[in-house]
Amino acid sequence: MVDHIVSVDPGNGGTNAVMARPSGTFKSVYFPSVRASATGDSLGLGPQFELEYDYVDWYGHRYITGDDVLRVTRRHLERHTGVNRYGNELHQFLTAVALTQLGIKSGDVDLTLFAPPGLYNEARQRIIARFTENDGRVSIHLKGERKPREWRYQTVTVWPEGLGAAACFILDDDGSMIKSEVLNGETVILDMGAYTLDALKMYNGSFNPEELEHATFENGGVITHVLEPILRTVKKMGDDFSVLTADDIDRVLRLGLVSQDYTLTSAGIEMDIEPLVAKQRERYAEWIANSIVDGVFNGLRGIKNVILVGGGATLVEDYMFHWYGDKVLNRKKHASTRRIHPVDFNAVGGLRLALMRQKV
């Protein structure tokens, strides 16, 4: 019997994690998948005159993570967007930080992770091997805590990205099957992440392994098609904006999608980047339609449903609804998905799959 059932999707852009609660609900966290080295030194001036921030100690090194990286220091900023990231030290670090933010301090963990379909067969073995080294034991020390948090990954399961999203339409919050015909026939899943776009086809709820190696489009994500074009334009607005990075654009974009305020600030100068966001998300939608939907899936001829997943989904879904009509599933019209944000689809679906496995 495990103590914690957790599903983590440490993507190139952000880390999403969900944990089952005894009440039948789940707790979720999100933070950008970025870290920077930190000293943790203090001048002893107190919170009134000294910037306060959290840090973690991880196997002899100290880091700040997520949005604090932009707030505290831009030196030594570190992320990993290559194909070798799956199972590596940074992948393990992001997962461990997510578990601390979910409140885990000790015990045995049933962990679900994900890999791009095009890299799945190779990445799955690497992830499991590296996460279960040292008997799956992990130690991470948070600022202000007397001793490190330590737990063990008792079980590590890796699914192709996109499968979690599909599971959200056929499983409820406790992992029980629901009556649904969503996955009957041919279904396409478009998972738009930060670095990659995964395009999967399912047949009556099952993947065709022969198609997995051709399912991942590198440089097909939000970084290449939205963040970097906006950043190039912003940097031309003056020297004070030349120091900004794609992470700054990403933060404004994430906040703007909720508040409708797309104000970017540098050196006290404000810029409304909403027109740039509108321009680039339309261009991204057109690229997906031309290169993927029409180019790979023949304009959805013969396809029953399309499921949009990932951070890019919220940027393009209105265009996709308009161009392809009811073939593109509206998550808000399904009881099992109406409360799930597209960026959380894989993590939530992974948790539901883990809970289903516990019932067997």
Residue 206 has which token pair?
């099952």
Residues near 142 by Cβ (< 8 Å), separated by ≥ 6?
54, 56, 57, 100, 149
DSSP 185: S
Give pLDDT < 50 ranges for the chain: 43, 45, 49
| Residue of 315, 313, 347, 250 whose CA lies nearest to 34 | 250
Half-sphere exposure of 187 (CA within 13 A, CB side): 23
Structure tokens at 310: 């990932």
For residue 38 the two structure tokens come to 């930190």
Name the residue type at position 189.
I
- pLDDT score, position 93: 97
Q: How many CB atoms are closer than 10 A to CB 317?
A: 19
Q: Please give the Cα distance from 111 to 25 (Å, whole number).
A: 17
Measured in Å, how far apart are the chain's first and last C-alpha atoms?
13
pTM: 0.91
CB 306 within 8 A of CB 186: no
How far apart CA 253 and CA 75 sit, in angstroms, is: 23
CB 160 within 8 A of CB 10: no
**What counts of helices (H) and strands (E) characterise the chain?**
11, 16
- Give the gyration radius of the chain's Cα atoms: 21
Query: Which positions ≥6 away from 138 have C-beta within 8 Å?
Result: 92, 96, 99, 150, 151, 152, 153
One-letter amino acid at 166 equals A
Residue spans of beta strands (DSSP E) within the chain: 4-10, 14-20, 26-32, 35-37, 56-58, 61-65, 108-115, 137-142, 149-160, 186-192, 196-203, 206-207, 216-218, 263-266, 269-272, 305-309
Q: Which structural domains are found in the chain, ordered by start?
A: 4-33+81-181+335-359 (3.30.420.40), 183-237+275-328 (3.30.420.40)
Buried b (16+ CB within 10 A) or exposed e, 190-203: bbbbbbbbbbbbbe
d(CA 30, CA 15): 5
